[in-house]
Amino acid sequence: GKDADAVVVDDAATAKECVRYLKEQRIAPMTFLPVNQLKVFEPDERLRHLGGTSKLCVDVVSFDESVKRAMIYAMGGDTLVCDTHEEAKRHSFGAGDRRLKVVSLDGTMIKKSGEMTGGNSGSLEAKASRFDAEEIEQLRADRQAAEESLAKIKPVAALIAEEQESAARLARLEKDLQYAAVDRKMCAEKIEKLTKDAANIKRELDATFPELKAAEKACEKAAAAVEAVEAKIHAAEDAVYAEFSASVGVANIREYEENNLAMLQLGAEERARFTTQRAKLTEQLNYERSRDTEGPRARAAADIERFEKDLERLLAEAEKAKAEAE
């Protein structure tokens, strides 16, 4: 009948969800039968005993008990099925005032109104074959999905190799973890030792801090005493050398000694400079003599004589300054 392609659902809410999904996906409309809202009546038991080949449709169709109400609703609880067209007419029109819906195996359907449709089984076979084709297509799709899933699965040898590699990596990581644990333990022991050493050093420093403060005070006191003694010495020196300091034009003997030391140092530097220059001139003179040139040799000799006189003069001044200092 018209509900041959209907889909059975549990309730109206599910049916509405299915209709909404079809609209969203732009799929052709379908009929949904909510089981809990179908109004059906149990078949008349007398129809099961009419004789001949007639049977109730609900008795010859296999279905799950959960969809029984939907099957009765779609086929009709009192619909009969028989082998021949003649038997179908006899049951439909020969039941007195009561009309029955009867279907024969050749495809003829006689409605309760007496209207007769069909007459061959082509349409039924077509509908049946459609369901078979859909099932085959679904099975083919399932097989293709299974093959694709199987193709994605790696070969057993590759999986074994990966497992072995993972096991080796895990072993290396476990060994590294052991080494890290040992290093951590050693570091912890070293930190503990250094902490103890630092505590001991702090205790020693705390213990020697008073002694250090006392030593600093003693040093400051000694420095002050040294300064006082030096002041007394300077005063005595100033008193002793006051006349000499005034004669040489210095404030005190210490200033004179500093000046004299500077002169002595300057004299030593001049002597070193003249000695170096004399050595250069002597070397040049010897070179010129080897060339047997009278002019340059005479000039070199004059230079040497002049530098020697300057040196003697500076040495004399240095000796004089030294004598005056003494």
Question: What are the contacts of 157-162 at 24+ separation with CB within 8 A?
Answer: none
More confident of the two residues 153 and 235: 235
What percent of the chain lies above the pLDDT cut of 90?
7
pLDDT tens track for 1-24: 677 778 999 999 999 999 999 898
Average pLDDT, the chain: 79
pLDDT tens track for 95-134: 666 778 888 888 888 888 778 887 654 455 555 555 566 7
Q: What's the pLDDT score for residue 221?
A: 85
With 0-12 CB in 10 A as exposed, 13-18 as middle and 19+ as buried, what is 147? Answer: exposed
Compute the distance between CA of residue 141 and CA of residue 79 in angstroms, rounded to an integer.
37
Q: What's the pLDDT score for residue 77?
A: 82
Q: What's the pLDDT score for residue 151?
A: 75
More confident of the two residues 143 and 129: 143
Compute the distance between CA of residue 103 and CA of residue 118 in angstroms, rounded to an integer.
9
pLDDT tens track for 252-283: 777 767 776 666 676 667 777 777 877 787 77
Nearest-10 crossing angle of helices 156-240, 253-291: 110
With 0-12 CB in 10 A as exposed, 13-18 as middle and 19+ as buried, what is 299? Answer: middle
- pLDDT higher than 70, residue 83: yes
Q: Which strand (E) or helix (H) includes residue 63?
A: none
Compute the distance between CA of residue 316 and CA of residue 326 in angstroms, rounded to an integer.
15
Instruction: Count the neighbouring beta carbons within 10 Å of the beta carbon of residue 298.
Output: 12
Give the residue-averaged pLDDT of 221-242.
Answer: 80
CA distances from 220 to 61, 131, 231, 263, 308 (A): 123, 116, 16, 36, 55
User: What is the chain's alpha carbon radius of gyration, rounded to the nearest angstrom?
Assistant: 67
Q: Which strand (E) or helix (H) includes residue 284?
A: helix 253-291
Compute the distance between CA of residue 291 and CA of residue 285 in angstroms, rounded to an integer.
10
Residues in the chain: 326
Lowest mean pLDDT among 55-59, 119-123, 190-194, 303-307: 119-123
- CATH fold of the domain at 7-120: Alpha-Beta Plaits (3.30.70)
- pLDDT higher than 70, residue 302: yes
Concatenate the DSSP letters of all residues of 64-79 into one string. -GGGHHHHHHHH-TT-
Q: What's the pLDDT score for residue 16?
A: 92
* 271 in Cβ contact with 311 (< 8 Å): yes
Give the residue-averaged pLDDT of 285-298.
Answer: 62
More confident of the two residues 181 and 318: 181
What does the domain layout of the chain look like in residue ranges?
7-120, 121-153, 255-325
